[in-house]
Copies of this chain bind each other. A is one copy, B any other.
Amino acid sequence: MNVAIGIDLGGTNIKYGLITEKGDVIKKISLPTRRNSGERQILSDIAAEVVRLQQEFMGQNTYKMLGIGVGIPGPVRADGYVETCVNLNFKKINPAEALSEMLKDMPIVVGNDANVAALGEMWLGGGKGYKNILVVTLGTGVGCGVVLNGRIVFGKAGLAGEIGHIIVNPNEVDQCNCGKRGCLDQFASAEGIVRNAKRILEFSSMSSELRNIPKDELTAEKIVNIAKNGDGLAYFILDYCMSFLGKCLADTAYVIDPDVFVIGGGVSKAGAFLTDMIQKHYEKQISLSEERTPVIVAQLGNDAGIYGAARMVFDKET
């Protein structure tokens, strides 16, 4: 059976999955990223692990290795070129070419982690059965991947799906990591939710369970859970933050009109409570068609990356 190794290269860990073209995981490993040792070291760590996996599984003639897919946390162009990847200290490098040299012409495909995860969700997760999806990951930041006609959209400079930096509030005074003010990231990410909670708690005199939590211990997870328990102010805060995401999804619908919006990342653990909220704000912004695009929860969690990375390899074959 055809297999591929899907790799999710993060700033903390590197996850490896040996995956069949049917989507079965034969082996899954997570190893720490030696990010301070430079890009060559990280890549040769990967090459070594790939060789090890091949020795363990490829001798049996049961499997045919088609190649390696890698998701990395930064913009990747369609040709695999990476201008800069802050989390890994990568600069002006083509990781696919570098890995290919180390691995004797093994086919390598590289993509942005959010895009790769989106492909994984389309293949085996929340977006299963669809070919045109937009996956938003609400974690520390807002990640996003776009899949059209079953394939990842890269964009000219690898910026497709960077909806976290759409400016949604021109009146914002705080600065986003990107240097602008008022990005979606500052509202809908886990950090954004906490930031807005602190502000609104200060502004409003409404009573709330949130006031029992020391400010530096506030997390998006706590805010979501307290909102779920019926706390009015916590609900208002989350609803306010998600209104910006709903607006952004409506904007993307007017650009690519996807089949479905899939919401992943830590914040999405809130499930339908959260996606219903986003759906409501999305629908307020949409006209022209009566057919609403569903907002649903992602299903693969942290494994979306290895699935999507493997899928890139299988797609390349066809």
Contacts and interface: CB of A to CB of B under 8 A. Distances in A.
A287 B163 CA distance: 12
A179 B75 contact: no
Interface string A286-299: 01110101000000
A194 to B, nearest CB: 22
A151 B151 CA distance: 13
Given A153-B148, A162-B288, A256 B255 contact: yes
A297 to B, nearest CB: 19
Contacts of A132: 155-156
Nearest to A163: B254
Contacts of A257: 153-160, 162
Interface stretch (A52-60, A209-217, A245-253): A245-253
A256 B256 contact: yes
A167 B283 CA distance: 13
B293 A255 contact: no
A75 B146 contact: no
Nearest to A167: B285
Per DSSP, chain A at the interface is loop
A256 B156 CA distance: 9
A143 interface: no
A161 interface: yes
A178 interface: yes
Interface in A238-264: 247, 250-259
12 contacts: A146-B256, A155-B256, A155-B258, A156-B293, A158-B257, A160-B256, A160-B257, A161-B255, A162-B254, A165-B287, A167-B250, A256-B256
Q: Which 3 A-B pairs have the closest CB atoms?
A: A155-B257, A178-B287, A159-B257
